[in-house]
Amino acid sequence: MQLTLNSPLDMHLHLRDGEMLKSVAPLSAHSFAAAIVMPNLVPPVTTIEAVNAYKARILEAIGEERFEPLMTLFFKESYDFAYLEKAKPYISAIKLYPAGITTNSEGGVGTIDSAALQMTLTAMSDLGIPLLIHGESNGFVMDREKEFIPVYEELATQFPELTIVMEHITTKESVAALERHENLYATITLHHLLITLDEVAGGMLQPHLFCKPIAKRPEDREALLSVALAAHPKVMFGSDSAPHPQHAKEACGCAAGVFTAPIALPALAQLFESHGKLDNLQPFVSDNAQIIYGYTPPEKTVVLEKKPFRVPQKYGDVVPMYAGEELAWRIASVR
């Protein structure tokens, strides 16, 4: 059995920098046509110059692969219309982090209210630049995403022309919020379709499945699966693949992030096939995102086949999800 995917897209990806960038960028570039690249470097990517310099480093890292890194700015309240108009040709979106909420987000926004963000959000809305948000409060870990939903809703109401993407949603409440506002969209990761808190902390503690937002309850996973498997037009695949060196994941006080980029398409094919929804993988991993972003990706044909794929224990120094396990699908060819 084969499945042909046209220009698969990863709408939420961490490529890091330096040696890690060189190690992981080719893996994404091999099987995806393009990806939205997160700007949470140290320091964060907050200028057009930094965007272009980072893009150049990514392109150097991927070498000959046909792959378009879709660049993002790290949200600042000081971006005005003139600056964003100048930035627009170089970026696909702006990513907003509440301060301190995840890896390298210390420089994020402290209080999120639409008045304080008025200038920048109005400019983004006028220029058609999507706003991507890591939507978590500083509350109890299982409630953070749910508590952030009123912020999404206020922004969606105040800026009805602004495309707002709820990044890596993990709860049934976020799925429900999608239906209430025309301009709210969402990315969903592979791992949040597969695991709940049980897989992280229900048996032995599993640091390689520890991520932010943390995996939630079974009914949350069901809600995510229902919209992903249906290729609901407001949801897109975004891996949130987040490489950390093995020592940082297995140390006491492990860093948050699951590394899925190189195994995402086979694992998604396995998941969608197991639910009899293989036909919906193309819109989930590409078509929906093209429509939401108004984006036409480079042509790239990824053929998956149903043959066993033993996931490596490591890619470089990074342990992937499913390390050492067998997936039922593999990438047969990329043209």
Residues marked active site are found at 240
Query: How many angstroms from the chain centroid is the CA of residue 286?
Result: 13
Query: How many angstroms from the chain centroid is the CA of residue 155?
Result: 20
Work out how close the CB of 207 gets to a second copy at its nearest, in angstroms, rounded to a whole number.
6
Backbone angles phi, psi at 151, to 5 degrees: -65, -45
Work out how close the CB of 190 gets to a second copy at its nearest, in angstroms, rounded to a whole number.
20
Q: Is 198 in the site for a second copy (CB under 8 A)?
A: yes
Number of amino acids touching a second copy (CB under 8 A): 27
Question: In the 8-state DSSP scheme, what is residue 241?
Answer: B
Work out how close the CB of 201 gets to a second copy at its nearest, in angstroms, rounded to a whole number.
6
Closer by beta carbon to a second copy, 30 or else 208: 208
Scan residues 203-262 and list those touching a second copy (CB under 8 A).
204-208, 210, 214, 217-218, 249-256
Scan residues 142-161 and list those touching a second copy (CB under 8 A).
142
Q: Is 99 in the site for a second copy (CB under 8 A)?
A: no
Contact 86, 76 (CB under 8 A): no
Q: Count the alpha carbons within 13 Å of 59 in the hemisphere toward its beta carbon.
A: 10
Work out how close the CB of 330 gets to a second copy at its nearest, in angstroms, rounded to a whole number.
25
User: Tokens 């060196």 sit at which residue?
Assistant: 245
Q: Is 141 in the site for a second copy (CB under 8 A)?
A: yes
Q: Is 202 in the site for a second copy (CB under 8 A)?
A: yes
| Cβ contacts of 133 within 8 Å, gap of 6 or more | 95, 96, 97, 152, 155, 164, 165, 166, 167
Query: How many angstroms from the chain centroid is the CA of residue 6?
Result: 19
The residues binding a second copy (CB under 8 A) are: 140-142, 196-198, 200-202, 204-208, 210, 214, 217-218, 249-256, 319
